[in-house]
Chain A
Amino acid sequence: MRFSYLEPEFLVERNLERCIRCQVCVRQCAFEAHRYDAASDVVTVDSSRCVGCLRCVTMCPTDALIVRQNPTTFKENANWTGRVIKNIYKQAETGGVLLTGMGNDRPYPIYWDHMVLNASQVTNPSIDPLREPMELKTYLGRKPERLDVSVKDGKISLNTKLAPQLELRMPVVFSALSYGAISFNASKALASAAYEFGTYYNTGEGGLHRDLYRYGERTIVQCASGRFGVHKDYLQAAAAIEIKIGQGAKPGIGGHLPGEKVSREVSRTRMIPEGSDALSPAPHHDIYSIEDLRQLIYALKEATRYEKPVSVKIAAVHNSAAIASGMVRAGADIIALDGIRGGTGAAPTTIRDNVGIPIELAIASVDQRLREEGIRHQASILAAGGFRSSSDVIKAIALGADAVYIGTSALVAMGCHLCQICYTGKCNWGIATQDPYLEKRLNPEIAKERLMNLLRAWEHEIKEMLGGMGINAIESLRGNRLHLRGVGLTDSELEILGILPAGR
């Protein structure tokens, strides 16, 4: 290896009194930070190889390991921080584009943390969800202009033909995570958890593995610019189809699954040759306008005979509201918005960290625009991009979303430690890898249980918060911004979010 100016990002410290030289750490680290020297019976550490995933720390039976941020610092400089200097070193050493995984880690304002919810006091009783019915069921899809109902002999019948809908037990859906970027076991865990819980998961653009067809009725399949694995049976198997235009982690650019991740199974699922790069062009080459988008939406509707809602996913950008209006008019039944904190398996760091807008502002402006134009009912809003907790979810609903997509939270539930090196394919947690040795570390049954536990916990918390506001159905909170107040926000931020400051 060529000499590098880069100091290790982490220091791995081994407590030799505790270490029993069992070599678990050696076997667990795909980056080979730990090595065992049989001759001298010692385990050595190369901290420069550590990515900070904490797998070794978690698995060490004697708690002999500590991984911490390398405390060595460059001379203090407000402009030339260690991060900036290290990035320049990396690029000077390789001449390459900086690559990263997961969502934006820069300190942009998180508006969820500047919005507070209301609760009933005295004048409007709160509701206890443990003892009273509480409805979180959510339907995604186009709603009718009006309902034509006829009453005959006291029986009511609906004459309006309703557009196809997705029925969610609660307004949380697993976001697009493609097989290829994540392991089969991770895909299976997401699919089976969505299926058992009563929500949906999204295949991403990596196709649908043949063993996951049985979860089809709880599957949203994607049709992206590379059209990987897109064919009639794939479209037919799904509950809904999503046209992927953009992604919050990398708005405006395409995807690129490196050839080494295109294993035999990934190749079969994506329907591309083994070992070749899977290039998703930045644009769909048949979509240059709203009219072209309409053409693809209806091509998919025609191909599946109008039985499935069609979602269109875009990255939240400056003119999202106008684009969303066009998307609804183009026939999208669901508008999926992915904010600047949205995750990814691989993206150029500079794009991830600098392009797009926070999801909170996008939800507010899109919801507002669609309402003003009288077309809000024609499509549901599915928001994505860094939802961390049930309170983020409920605030998003109050702001105007119909439901949210969670990707990172779901990965964390399965064991992800956010070390952001998904693009290497060496995920020690068995999530973002195609290496059979690493993949089997993720037990799909246990991962499914963990995902369902997370959903159940959020479900209960959402009910508690709803009940506290005196509301017994999530429907009644949707777009009900009077239940939100802003704390520490500027006038223009409050105006865009459409909320009052706390105290008013």
Chain B
Amino acid sequence: MRISAKGLHYRTLNEKIHHLVDSGAKSLHVTHVNGQRYIGGGLQGDIRLTLEGVPGNDLAAFMDGPRIRVKGNAQDGVANTMNAGEVIIDGNAGDVLGYGMRGGRVFIRGSVGYRVGIHMKSFEKQVPVMVVGGSARDFLGEYQAGGIILVLGLGLAPGEPIAGYMVGTGMHGGVMYVRGKVEDWQIGREVKIFELDEADYKTMRPHLRAFARAFRLDLDEIMAEPFLKMIPYSKRPYGRIYAY
């Protein structure tokens, strides 16, 4: 079903989406999206949303199951505390992407802003996955407690950094894979840079395959460049700071 978001306040638009979903709609195509916030917020079930334009902040916040495709850029707070589902963004995304995200996956074709993947966590079978096609800015994966963050650095200009600094500060779970160079001065004290082993490639491959398929990219080309891995030293980075 097609609906137009033209001139609609987010509250009206989202109520419309909720209403359609409540009455059984499984697939919605929303055109003229222009900054409306909270699209897909708290939405549950097997639903597909295609958004044309630029959705506003907190896209897919607290979302639990639906799949969203954004034909355009996204703003800040995408997949905030998302529990399950999928968000695929054809363009770039802003800051605080995937904050506290616990499951599902987020694919960004382009680059992302600051504080991305903060406090992402995994739980039992829920392992959130975030793949960023371009680069990420400072504080990537801060406090990361679980899940997988992949940054690919596709289409970066020569010398353009793939990540900012303070990468993985306070990280205590999960893993980050970066297809490119990250120097020691860029990372937090709680993480260490490693080379990949077979198991890592096995972990990455299905997500990269899905990413390549989503954006019609060549998987072999992506896999051809060297990756590095960042994991935390300890599940308990602050276990010993207290007296007694």
A-side residues, CB < 8 A to B, are: 90-91, 93-99, 223, 225-227, 230-233, 235-236, 256, 258-259, 267-268, 271-273, 275-277, 279, 281, 285-286, 295, 298-300, 302-305
Contact = CB atoms under 8 A, between A and B. Distances in A.
Given A90-B243, A97-B243, A303-B62, A226 B237 contact: no
Interface of B: 10-11, 14-15, 18, 37-38, 41-42, 44, 57-58, 61-64, 76-77, 80-81, 83, 96, 99-100, 102, 115, 118-119, 121-124, 126, 139, 142-143, 145-146, 170, 172-173, 235-244
Given A90-B244, A98-B243, A303-B62, A227 B238 contact: no
A295 B142 contact: no
B121 A272 contact: yes
A230 B236 contact: no
Given A279-B145, A298-B38, A303-B62, A273 B44 contact: no
Contacts of A302: 10-11, 14, 37-38, 41-42, 58, 61
B243 A272 contact: no
Given A256-B238, A285-B99, A299 B80 contact: yes
Contacts of B139: 285
B243 A295 contact: no
Nearest to B95: A286
Contacts of A276: 145, 172-173, 235-236
Contacts, number: 142
B142 A285 contact: yes
A230 B102 CA distance: 9
A75 B96 CA distance: 55
A328 to B, nearest CB: 19
A273 B242 contact: no
Contacts of A305: 15, 18, 42
A231 B102 contact: yes
A231 B11 CA distance: 21
Contact of B83 (A91, A98, A232): A232
Contacts of B80: 286, 299
A281 B42 contact: no
Contact of A295 (B37, B124, B235): B37
Contacts of A96: 240-244
Given A230-B100, A231-B102, A285-B142, A299 B61 contact: yes
Contacts of B62: 230-232, 235, 299-300, 303
A93 B10 CA distance: 58
Contact of B236 (A95, A236, A259): A259
Contact of A286 (B14, B96, B172, B238): B96
Contacts of A267: 123
A421 B167 CA distance: 35
Contacts of B121: 271-273
Q: Which of B42, B238, B240, B241 is most buried by chain A, counting CB atoms within 10 A of its CB?
A: B42
Contacts of B77: 286, 295, 299
B14 A227 contact: no
B240 A281 contact: no
Contacts of A98: 242-243
Contacts of B96: 285-286
B118 A285 contact: yes
Contacts of A94: 242-244
17 contacts: A94-B244, A96-B240, A96-B241, A99-B244, A227-B99, A231-B102, A232-B64, A271-B123, A272-B145, A273-B146, A276-B236, A277-B236, A285-B119, A285-B143, A302-B38, A304-B42, A305-B18
